[in-house]
Amino acid sequence: MTIGPSRIRNGDGRAWAVAAILGLQSIAAAFFAADALADLSRDGLSAHMAVEAPVAFALLAGIVLGARHLRMMMTEARRRDEALAVASGALSDVIRLRFDAWGLTAAEADVALFALKGCDVGDITRLRHTAAGTVRAQLARAYAKAGVSSRAALTSLFIEDLLDAMPPPRTDSVAAHISGGGGDVTPPRGTGTPAVQTMPFSRNRR
Amino acid sequence: MPASDAPRRVRRWDPLVRLTHWGIVASVTVNALVTEEGSGPHQWVGYALAALLALRLLWGLVGTPEARFLAFPPSPARALAHIRDMRAGRQVDHASHNPLGALMVYAIWSCLAVIIASGLAMAPPFAAPKGEPASSGTHIESASVAIGGDENGEGGEHEEGVLTEVHEIAVNLLYLLIALHLAGVIFETRRSGPQVVRAMLPWRSPGRE
């Protein structure tokens, strides 16, 4: 999480650097072309021109390729931005809204959150100062309300949202794979409209 | 709702759009206020302006989705629809320029193109004697004035006069368009907030965390 923002900033700086170089290259190309034209009109076709023409061509090609490269960089950075926004800020909103929609009690929500964070029953017992049996019961009720049978399945309900930001072909195959395992146990999610409303978040931004 | 206002706050023009925008602003300002008309520096700044405009147009073909021409087609019908939206007080989010802004963009680009073309025609780079390119423009002008009765002086001077006229009219039109552009930005800022300005600022605005 902590490397996220700095990565974005670096990406932004790189894009600026490439854009600035492109700007300079364009100006240089304009001046070079003007100079080459002056040479051409003065000397006609000469050995000098035979050198300058490829240079001019290389400059122009460099600008076009640089522009395409910059576009790809920005597309990539934007996708990363979206994924990170879901991952860092919105995911906690989504979790909270889903917990509400499933009707988890405060205790069940706490336990489920610990479970999502990777704590096992022993850890949760220590953290909440309760008996292992209580934690197991709360976890079981939380899973039942979420319509899943394991912690992995619970996690995957949220991972699904993160995968939304990925390119369509891969999303399709992953989503098909996941819904094949958990699609039939998700009726509670259908009624959870707040959670569903937040899902287009990543799509809104383009 | 974070989901609804986050896209508005974060959206900004990509670096190349901002760079070319402010580069063009700088070169127009310099040529309008600092350099002497027709002087060497005036021409060199003109070349830089031409390069930046060309780069922006190239970016309109291969750039980011919002920067491409396809994202803001010059469509009077859409502009009218946008005016209706504004009258009804509807806030419609546009991924790129809003339709009115798009018309303004194309108007300014066309105007710049005319200015650049007439400028280049008045002082073509190949008229510059090698070694003293910085004074080609004044040379031509003074030469054509001095040898007005020469064999090709008459026609050349006439052409020169027309080009100068075109150049100046286009420049005055550009000033008008710039004024309209600024008015549009101010209007849009009052209507829907400072996002319009923030999106083009070259630095990171405080609106973004």
- ipTM value: 0.72
Query: Does the pLDDT at position B147 exceed 70?
Result: no
Separation in Å, CA of B169 to nearest CA in chain A: 25
Binning pLDDT at 50, 70 and 90, where does residue A61 land? very high
Lowest mean pLDDT of A74-78, A112-116, A175-179, B191-195, name the range.
A175-179
Query: Does the pLDDT at position B132 exceed 70?
Result: no
Joined together, the tokens standing for residue B98 give 């809003």
pLDDT of residue B206: 59
Which residues form the domain of A97? Answer: 91-204
Mean pLDDT, chain B, whole residue set: 81
Average pLDDT value for residue range A156-170? 69
Mean pLDDT, chain A, whole residue set: 75
Site of tokens 């061509």: A57
Asked if B126 and A64 come within 8 Å (Cβ–Cβ), the reply is: no
Closest by alpha carbon to A121, among B66, A131, B147? Answer: A131
pLDDT tens, position by position, A109-150? 989 988 888 888 888 999 888 888 999 999 999 999 888 888
Assess whether A73 and A119 both reside in one domain.
no
Q: Are A67 and B14 spatial neighbours (Cβ–Cβ below 8 Å)? A: no
Domain closes at, from A58, A80, A102 = A80
Optimal mutation site among B126, B201, B209, interface A, most CBs of chain A within 10 A: B126
pLDDT of residue A166: 65
Assess whether A68 and A95 both reside in one domain.
no
| Number of structural domains in chain A | 2
CA torsion sign for A145, A147, A149, A151 is negative
Assess whether A177 and A130 both reside in one domain.
yes
Assess whether A134 and A197 both reside in one domain.
yes
The answer to whether position A36 is within a domain reads yes
Joined together, the tokens standing for residue B29 give 């300002």
Dist. CA A181–CA A167, nearest whole Å: 22
Q: Are A112 and A139 spatial neighbours (Cβ–Cβ below 8 Å)? A: yes
Site of tokens 């127009």: B28
Number of helices (H), then strands (E), in chain B? 8, 0
Residues 6+ apart with CB under 8 A from A66: A18, A21, A22, A25
Q: Are A148 and A185 spatial neighbours (Cβ–Cβ below 8 Å)? A: yes
The answer to whether position A20 is within a domain reads yes
Q: Are A37 and B125 spatial neighbours (Cβ–Cβ below 8 Å)? A: yes
Cα-based distances in Å from A84 to A77, A88, A116, A171, B208 = 10, 6, 18, 17, 15
Residues of A in contact with B14 (CB under 8 A): 15, 19, 70, 74
Assess whether A67 and A148 both reside in one domain.
no
Higher pLDDT, A114 or B10: A114
Domain closes at, from A80, A101, A130 = A80
Closest Cα in chain A to B66:
A206
Assess whether A103 and A196 both reside in one domain.
yes
Q: Are B187 and B194 spatial neighbours (Cβ–Cβ below 8 Å)? A: no
The letter for the amino acid at A173 is: S
Domain closes at, from A28, A56, A80 = A80
Binning pLDDT at 50, 70 and 90, where does residue A161 land? low
Select the residue of A16, A26, A42 nearest B130 (Cβ to Cβ).
Answer: A42
Asked if B126 and A42 come within 8 Å (Cβ–Cβ), the reply is: yes
Q: Are A170 and A138 spatial neighbours (Cβ–Cβ below 8 Å)? A: no
Hey, where are the domains in chain B? 23-125+134-198
Asked if B48 and A30 come within 8 Å (Cβ–Cβ), the reply is: yes
Taking residue B198's Cβ as centre, other Cβ atoms within 10 Å add up to 20
Assess whether A51 and A96 both reside in one domain.
no
Assess whether A133 and A175 both reside in one domain.
yes
Average pLDDT value for residue range B65-76? 92
The answer to whether position A85 is within a domain reads no
Q: What is the Cα Rg of chain B in Å?
A: 21
Assess whether A167 and A136 both reside in one domain.
yes
Number of helices (H), then strands (E), in chain A? 11, 0
Higher pLDDT, A1 or B16: B16
Question: How far is C-alpha A63 from the geometric centre of its chain's CA atoms?
Answer: 29
Binning pLDDT at 50, 70 and 90, where does residue B10 land? low
Select the residue of A31, A74, A204 nearest B7 (Cβ to Cβ).
Answer: A204
Assess whether A198 and A96 both reside in one domain.
yes
The letter for the amino acid at A95 is: I
B23 near A CB under 8 A: yes
Q: What predicted TM-score, i.e. pTM, was given to this entire model? A: 0.63
Q: Are B36 and B42 spatial neighbours (Cβ–Cβ below 8 Å)? A: yes
Assess whether A141 and A199 both reside in one domain.
yes
pLDDT of residue A11: 60
Residues of B in contact with A85 (CB under 8 A): 6
The DSSP code for B65 is G
Assess whether A138 and A38 both reside in one domain.
no
